[in-house]
Amino acid sequence: MMELKNSRIDKKELRGDALEVLAENLEFCGNPGLSLAFRRAASVLKSLPDAPRRLEETQHLPCLGEHSRAIIEEISEYGSCSRVEEILNDERYRTMKLFSSVFGVGPKTAENWFCRGLRTFEQVLNDPSIRLNRMQTAGFLFYEDISKPVSRTEAIALKIIVEEAVTSVIPSASVSITGGFRRGKEFGHDVDFIIKTPEAGQEDSILPAVIERFKRQSILLYSDLQESTFDLRQLPTHRFEAMDHFSKCFLIVKLKGEQETGRDWRAVRVDLVAPPLERYAYALLGWTGSMLFERDLRRFARLERGKLLDHHALYDKATNTFLSANTEEDIFTHLGLEYIEPWQRNA
Ligand code: CTP
Ligand code: MN
Ligand code: MN
Ligand code: MN
């Protein structure tokens, strides 16, 4: 308690984290709309250099509703918030959090298992009426490894492996790290790569070839290849879609190296996306994230600029045309914004 009183930094994180617990719980309760409101509020708090000390200081902050401000006030006064404590101790929340921490288990499956009275992994794995799909099977099999954060050093080691596989198939293709690591994060839950191929059509053949190569090298532990469903005629989309339509794959690969476990490899989650060349800038922007930044940028484009932005394109409603872009800079220019560096996109 004393410590909390003396440290503004700690309190700031405490408040942001508290709002994130509320957001997560709302997601588990099937209320994504309200959940998003709390995620935005948490993100605003975390972006402040100093935590607000009094309620009045939160008055002019964006995205903070009455509810969020009440929680901030309670934490500044008592060091904790009773509603958050209640959620953290709630059996349903704890079980949903545990189950959805498994790769391949979303809120629906987690809820289903909870409603059947299951509370532990052991109970799930021993329940004869439960059939795990391939993704969930891999999720349990490699649970420990893929729950462990991936370091930047590991991400760079993986980049060399992915690059080697890609250029052995198409020598003039290139690979870039995207996702959280591109935003400068030191750790991630996976490593995201975007592949640039010089000729039309290569974006469809490169991923199956990389997967084949990883198989032959005996480093492929799981793969889910999603072929392209990209079609410019179906754009633009008005709804926020987390998923894009490019050719992509979700993998678990073996990364060699001495581990604390005594093994000489660990399992790591890797995502690869291969957009058509003329879509590259949009795909890069979309895959760099963060998810919240993407949402906010799209909302800004729509409300402030009358343009529809998604993973694939930018559509100008005033002229009914798609705006082309070779680089991310082009996209920000179309939106009338100064370039926003990847490390400034950690919303
Ligand atoms: N993404 C996507 N399609 C998916 C999954 C992710 O387009 N099926 C995009 C998201 O829009 C996000 C980016 O890929 O902006 C990275 O997603 P993810 O790896 O989940 O998150 P990170 O920001 O990289 O965070 P972490 O370090 O936890 O991986
Ligand atoms: Mn999950
Ligand atoms: Mn990632
Ligand atoms: Mn990812």
- Ion ligand 2: residues, CB within 5 A, are 100, 105
Does 192 belong to an annotated binding site?
Answer: yes
Is there a binding annotation on residue 17?
no
Cβ of 289 closer than 6 Å to ligand 1, yes or no, is yes
Q: Is the CB of 310 under 6 A from ligand 1?
A: no
Q: Determine if ligand 1 sits within 6 Å of the CB of residue 188.
A: yes
Q: Band of the pLDDT at 78, cuts 50, 70, 90?
A: confident
Contact 192 CB / ligand 1 (< 6 Å): yes
- pLDDT for the residue 59: 80
The Cα–Cα gap between 94 and 104 comes to: 18
Closest-CA residue, ligand 1 atom 4, reads 243
CA of 87 to the centre of ligand 4 (A): 28
Residue 271 annotated among the catalytic residues of the structure: yes
Residues 136/102, Cβ–Cβ less than 8 Å? yes
CA 289 to centroid of ligand 1, rounded, Å: 6
Active site residue 244: no
- Choose the catalytic residue: 224, 271, 296, 316: 271
Determine whether the annotation assigns residue 190 to a binding site.
yes
Choose the weakest-confidence range: 15-29, 60-74, 249-263.
60-74
CA-closest candidate to residue 220, choices 258, 268, 252, 191? 252
CB of 291 shorter than 6 A to ligand 1? yes
Q: Is 154 in the pocket of ligand 1 (CB under 6 A)?
A: no
Considering 28-32, 54-58, 114-118, the range whose residues carry the highest mean pLDDT is: 114-118
271-300 pLDDT per residue, tens: 999 999 999 999 999 999 999 999 999 999
> Is it the case that residue 308 has pLDDT exceeding 60?
yes
Domains present along the chain, CATH in parentheses? 2-89 (1.10.150.110), 91-141 (1.10.150.20), 150-280 (3.30.460.10), 286-344 (3.30.210.10)
Among 291, 294, 297, residue to substitute to test ligand 1 (most atoms within 8 Å of Cβ): 291
CA 98/CA 116 separation, integer angstroms:
15
State the complex-level ipTM. Answer: 0.94
By most ligand atoms within 8 Å of CB, the mutation choice from 20, 176, 187, 192 for ligand 1 is 192
The model's pLDDT over 143-202, given as tens digits with 9 standing for 90+, comes to 999 999 999 999 999 999 999 999 999 999 999 999 999 999 999 999 999 999 999 999
Q: What is the rounded average pLDDT of the residues 127-138? A: 97
Give pLDDT, residue 84: 93
Query: What distance in angstroms lies between residue 123's CA and the mean position of ligand 2's atoms?
Result: 18
Name the band, by pLDDT with cuts 50, 70 and 90, for residue 23.
very high
